[in-house]
Amino acid sequence: KILTGQFRIGGMTCAACVNSVEGILRKIPGVKRAVVALATSSGEVDYDPSIISKDDIVSAVEDAGFEAAFLR
């Protein structure tokens, strides 16, 4: 089963950041789809919770120097 999660993301200041964060997310095993929006400082991922948790997704993004927090 695939879940969709929305998150806020901080620390993105240019379009290259968006590509960077999307690249990070798409490389995480268990993440099936990732889109990030600079204008709204937000993003969305489809992920398999049997492979990856929200906490692990947040950790991967924060390891790259950004801040991330799922909405719920």
Query: Residue 15 CB, nearest distance to ligand 9UX (Å)?
Result: 7
Host H or E run for residue 63: helix 54-63
Instruction: State yes or no: residue 41 binds ligand 9UX (CB under 6 A).
Output: no
User: Which span sits near ligand 9UX by CB under 6 A: 15-23, 25-33, 38-46, 51-59?
Assistant: 15-23
Total length of the chain: 72
Q: What are phi and psi of 60, to 5 degrees?
A: -65, -40
Q: Does 16 bind ligand 9UX (CB under 6 A)?
A: yes
Task: Give me the helices (H) in the chain, please.
Answer: 15-27, 54-63
Q: Which positions lie near ligand 9UX, rule CB under 6 A?
A: 13-14, 16-17, 20
